[in-house]
Structure 1
Amino acid sequence: MRTRFLAIAALVMAFAAAIQLWWDVEPVTRVDLTRRAEVKAPEAVPAITYAYLPQYSHSTSYLRHRALVEYLQKATGLAIRQVFPDTFEAHRRMVERGEIDISFSNPMTYVLLAQSGAQAFAGIVEPSGRATFRGQVIARADNAAIRNEQDCQGKRWIAVDPYSAGGYLFVLGHFRDKGLTESDFAEIAFAPGPGGKQEKAVLGVYAGRYDIASIREGTLGIVEGKVDLSALKVVATTREYPSWVYAARKGLDPDIVRRIADAMFALSENDPEQERILAAAGMRGIIPTTDRDYDPCRELFTKLRLDPSKVGAE
């Protein structure tokens, strides 16, 4: 028993000696708590903002362009964030204030944006395969009193927005060519926002609240499933105008614009994944364009005797 006790005691003493040896060798680090160093968190890199003129609901806008925005982020290495203005006017003002970097809008709205320094750099190829599009006038199929433009005189008209190209201004120009002016209609109303204004114009006629609606070509395909398309008919179609346009706000870094444009132009229908991205966004391709390509829209403003800077003003 005594022998076991002595052995344990020897082990304890040896362990204590080892700890003391380590303590003597290990240097002591003294901390001066009176000294401070400010550590700054890294600043977040601001995202490039991308906005689709709100002709459709925000959910539709998001679903149509989500894959395209994700593609552009990967292809350019830029942080890109989709934003959702509530109205056409809000979109225009946000571009002017620099809150939207990349604008995707109709060509008539682009003419207004160009006045604040925005610059067109790309246009789209429509599902039709053309780099142009048209406006349409629709009515209920069971409305036998409306068969052509002249029959629209004295009727209640719902348009998309004062800034809408196919949903108002193209059709207004078309009616002028047919000898009709704004005063020839019992009422011209604009679809309420936010967003979803093309759908609301269609629904206004579908429900019988209005006699005719002006919409952009292709809208009926978007609302299929929400309304019975057999209950509607196309009464008139306008001439063609330049299609929707991508524009960079005034002052946006040209290198950023170039990187985004190059990625857009690289999209091809021949690539199955890219074809899905384009189809979801309602286009078949994106092509280079310049400001002068939208002169036909400026000519339409002149024909309508409208000051672009005052379109939509109260």
Structure 2
Amino acid sequence: MLRLHTVWIGVALCMLAGCDPGEPTYKVDLSVRESPRIQQVDHSITYAYLPQYSHSVSYQKHHRLVEYLRRKTGLNIRQIFPDTFDGHMKMVGQGKIDLSFANPYIYIQMAHRYGARAFARIVEKEGGDQYRGQIICRADNPHIQTLNDCRGKRWIAVDPGSGGGYLFPLTLFYSHGITRDDFQEIAFAPGPGGKQEKVVLAVCAGKYDIGTIRQGTLDVVVGKIDPRAIRVLAETAWYPGWVFSSRSGLDPDIVNAVKTALRALDIRQPDHQPILDDAQIVAVIASVDADYDTVREAIEYIGGTLNQ
């Protein structure tokens, strides 16, 4: 032990001898402490467009709208892109999506499961504050001329959670005595996003006999197919339009600020027109949960349930 102590004394003396006597010395007061400064990051408000179209189309349609909401409200709002309808709903339930823009079928499921609440809905150029679904087939298909001709055929729909692309057409089929069991196959568009376009492309390619989409989708696929290749076989009844909703627990002041900004959009104003044109919206009006009771009735009519 004595030997080891002697070695450490020697090391210390060597270190002292190695110091440059010309270097200045500094006195350090260890009693003075300063807390580290942590850069504060503003909390962002997440906004998501139900992925009925590809992410690039969703961005093109709503990025001006999101920028407008940021400017108008002063909130740090950013657009995020769920991959699937089911993923969108779950993210609302997990609090990862604060503001949702979705079809009424998805909305009422989010309201039932997670307490989401409608606060505004859109007015479109065609249909006003309502929209509908379409049943399509190839224009040159001689075997499908009426709804009854769809029996025994292969049907591709957008998604089990799609209003115009599944629920509304299914309700129309049921009203004509055609049930799910009457089709040879019911398939849903695969993969993340872009599901409306995929339905049209699959029918155009002859992979399926009929497809169901929301009205307006055929305008989106112009340039990808010859529009003359597709025929609209039938259209559904009108239902309340797409809805803006907030997740459960979101600050009411935030919801009110966004609602006020949305309702202030005026297509007659030059700086507002590009925002609304990109989103294919004419105006935004106030909305409440009861506006979507007709969609709940449609679900009940086909024997569906929200208890999932």
Per the normalisation by structure 1, the TM-score is 0.88
Residue 309 of structure 1 and its aligned partner are, at CA, apart by 3.1
The question of whether the paired residues in 2 share the 8 Å contact of 1:103 and 1:247 is answered with yes
Q: Does 1:281 align with 2:276?
A: no
What's 1:98 paired with?
A: 95
Quote the Cα distance in structure 1 between the aligned partners of 2:79 and 2:162. 21
What's 1:246 paired with?
A: 244
- Runs (4 or more) in structure 1 with deviation over 6 Å come to none
What's 1:11 paired with?
A: none
Alignment length (residue pairs): 281
Larger radius of gyration: 1
Where in structure 2 are the equivalents of 1:147-158 lying within 5 Å? 147-158=145-156
Residue 127 of structure 1 and its aligned partner are, at CA, apart by 2.3
What's 1:256 paired with?
A: 254
Task: Write the letter of the residue equivalent to 2:305.
Answer: D
Residue 31 of structure 1 and its aligned partner are, at CA, apart by 6.1
Residue 36 of structure 1 and its aligned partner are, at CA, apart by 3.1
The question of whether the paired residues in 2 share the 8 Å contact of 1:129 and 1:284 is answered with no
Where in structure 2 are the equivalents of 1:5-24 lying within 5 Å? none
Q: State the secondary structure of the residue aligned to 2:119.
A: strand
Quote the Cα distance in structure 2 between the aligned partners of 1:282 and 1:101. 22
Where in structure 2 are the equivalents of 1:26-175 lying within 5 Å? 32=28, 34=30, 35-115=32-112, 116-128=114-126, 130-175=128-173
Quote the Cα distance in structure 2 between the aligned partners of 1:288 and 1:275. 20
Name structure 2 gaps, 5 residues minimum: 1-25
Correspondent of 2:228 among 221, 230, 233: 230
Correspondent of 1:218 among 207, 213, 216: 216
Deviations 1:197-244 (A, max 9, x none): 000011110100000000000000111111110001000000000000
Cα-Cα RMSD: 1.1
Task: Write the letter of the residue equivalent to 1:66.
Answer: H
Deviations 1:119-160 (A, max 9, x none): 000000012151000000000000011111011111100000
Q: State the secondary structure of the residue aligned to 1:301.
A: helix
Q: State the secondary structure of the residue aligned to 2:78.
A: strand
What's 2:186 paired with?
A: 188
Summarize the Cα distance change of 1:187–1:39 in structure 2 as closer, same or farther, 3 Å threshold: same
Question: Which 10-residue stretch deviates more, 87-96 or 37-46?
Answer: 37-46
Summarize the Cα distance change of 1:31–1:196 in structure 2 as closer, same or farther, 3 Å threshold: farther
Task: Write the letter of the residue equivalent to 2:88.
Answer: H
The question of whether the paired residues in 2 share the 8 Å contact of 1:53 and 1:88 is answered with yes
Identity of paired residues, percent? Answer: 52
What's 2:15 paired with?
A: none
Task: Write the letter of the residue equivalent to 1:103.
Answer: S
Deviations 1:8-39 (A, max 9, x none): xxxxxxxxxxxxxxxxxxxxxx8635333122
Q: State the secondary structure of the residue aligned to 2:203.
A: helix
Per the normalisation by structure 2, the TM-score is 0.89
Quote the Cα distance in structure 1 between the aligned partners of 2:44 and 2:103. 24
Name structure 1 gaps, 5 residues minimum: 1-29
Task: Write the letter of the residue equivalent to 2:207.
Answer: R
Residue 193 of structure 1 and its aligned partner are, at CA, apart by 1.9
